[in-house]
Amino acid sequence: MAESTSKPTEQESTNGTIIVVEDDRNIAELLDLYLRNAGFRVLQAGDARRGLELAGQEHPVLVVFDIGLPGPLDGLQACRELRKTSDVPIVMVTARDDELDRVLGLELGADDYVTKPFSPRELVARVRAILRRSESGRRAGDEPLTVGSVVVDTLRRDVRADGVEVQLTAREFDLLAFFAENPGIVLSRQQLLDGVWGSGWYGDERTVDVHVRQLRRKLGDALPLATVWGVGYRCG
């Protein structure tokens, strides 16, 4: 499979670089077109190795991984690999429901996913929503929020548990910030989906549980996050 990297466009791209890792050329070209029209610089990679290489070199604002990729690494493994070194937002593209189960089950740290067939317009909307969330997080921050012995600085997007910095994905951060902004309140999974993922997000409530598990794993006892049986979660 030939790998390809599209040339940076002549058009001024103001919204940053997105890396599209997708071996299906038709889909890749379509995403390229739509994302460029939305003002992004797009770099394409036909396999995971090249995608990771570009992600390391090009300072992307977001990476799109198809799951079914040729070569030694599939999109799931590539996502996990990238998460070791970067908290750049990641969108997974799944072809089948069983792939989606793996995305949700493996706790890869992806921020969102779309299932094929999807409309490029839908993907662009998802991308915008993710980037808007990370941006508003940067702008809206006032004083850092404290919950338990976790301090959430939404201005710097920095999290400390007992004074030690903890690396979270963009989505995990947004979820934690949402909990911290609503201390002591029981939040249903649907409220969390609406508040963190956005009302335009058509996802499964299991995705909330997956992200909660990650927060618990990373923050441990520092985060007072209780499961409210049959309802959702309460933090603080």
CA–CA distance, 235 with 56 (Å, rounded to integer): 35
Smallest gap from residue 108 Cβ to Ca ion (A): 17
Provide φ and ψ at 120, rounded to 5°.
-55, -30
Q: Quote the least distance from Cβ 67 to Ca ion, whole Å.
A: 7
User: Please, what is the minimum distance in Å from the beta carbon of residue 81 to Ca ion?
Assistant: 17
Closest-by-Cβ residue to Ca ion is 68
Name which of residues 68 to 107 contact Ca ion (CB under 5 A).
68
Map residues 51-70 to x or -, x wherever contact with Ca ion holds by CB under 5 A: ---------------x-x--
**Interacting residue with Ca ion among 18, 20, 21, 23 (CB under 5 A):** 23
Stretch that binds Ca ion, among 16-24, 78-86, 110-118, 132-140 (CB under 5 A): 16-24
Nearer residue to Ca ion within complex by CB, 28 or 215: 28
The span from the first CA to the last CA of the chain, in angstroms, equals 51
Q: Which stretch binds Ca ion (CB under 5 A): 19-27, 55-63, 104-112, 195-203?
A: 19-27
Site string for Ca ion, 104-143 (x = CB under 5 A): ----------------------------------------
Nearer to Ca ion, 110 or 180 (CB): 110
The contact set with Ca ion (CB under 5 A) reads 23, 66, 68
